[in-house]
Amino acid sequence: MKTLHRFADFLVSIPNDEGDGVLFQIPIKVPVGIDPDTGEELITDEGNNLIEATRARHMGLMTQDKIKVLRIRLGLSQREISGLLRCGEKSYTRWENGNGRPSQLVNLILCALRDGELSLDYLRNRRRAIFDWRQVVGSEAPRNALPPATFFRDQELPLGTPSPLPTTGEESDDAREPQAA
């Protein structure tokens, strides 16, 4: 038996930032299939995609197509970008396939990459033991950044005026914990 199709009204719930309630609802029309025997309406795959795209758009999330286009534009494989984002490759693949959505935090990082506010060099350098801002920003430091210096990951910076740390990997006397005066 052939399933009949029509459009039905549907309210898409947009969650609040905490994720424990509904911020607002968006009315849309979605395609549904109607079982001729039971009269039951079932949202089609196209309808489900429309609902998810509406939810993502109103939450400010990148759609699956935009996530994939960004990765291709950056010249990365799914494995490479998931490594840079420090997320699982399967999670990233689900975002591109529309079987899941990135968190708002990951979405912020993706948008920063898309908008040129975050570079691949920055993400690549974060994977190294020693991070040198000069490799990322050239001779110009970002606004409100510490003076150009090489920082060792997980090293606490002194509260006073920061001074450049040695780049040899060896600690100098100045890089050790400050002594009481």
CA 2 – CA 60 distance, rounded (Å): 38
- What's the average model confidence in pLDDT over 106-132? 86
Look up residue 1 and give its two tokens. 């038996």
Model confidence over 154-180: pLDDT tens digits? 556 555 544 454 444 444 444 444 455
Q: Please tell me the predicted confidence (pLDDT) of residue 1.
A: 45
Which pTM does this prediction carry? Answer: 0.56
What are the pLDDT digits (tens) for 84-104?
999 999 999 999 998 888 988
Q: What mean pLDDT value characterizes the chain? A: 79
**CB-based contact 62:98 (threshold 8 Å):** no
- The set of residues, in sequence order, having a beta carbon less than 8 Å from that of 128 and lying 6+ positions away, is none
Q: How many CA atoms lie within 13 Å of 22's alpha carbon, on the beta-carbon side?
A: 8
| pLDDT tops 50 at residue 133 | yes
* Type of residue found at 2: K
Tell me, what's the pLDDT at 154? 57
CA 12 to chain centre: 23
**What are the tens digits of pLDDT across the range 47-89?**
998 998 898 888 889 988 999 999 999 999 999 999 999 999 9
Percent of the chain with pLDDT over 90: 45
List, in order, residues 6 or more apart from 57 with CB less than 8 Å away.
63
CATH number given to 64-118: 1.10.260
Helices marked H in the chain — which ranges? Answer: 45-59, 64-74, 78-85, 89-97, 104-114, 120-126, 133-137
Neighbouring-strand partners of residue 150: 132
Tokens of 130: 């020693």
The position carrying tokens 């060896």 is: 170
- State the span(s) of the chain assigned CATH 1.10.260: 64-118
Per-residue model confidence (pLDDT) at position 172: 45
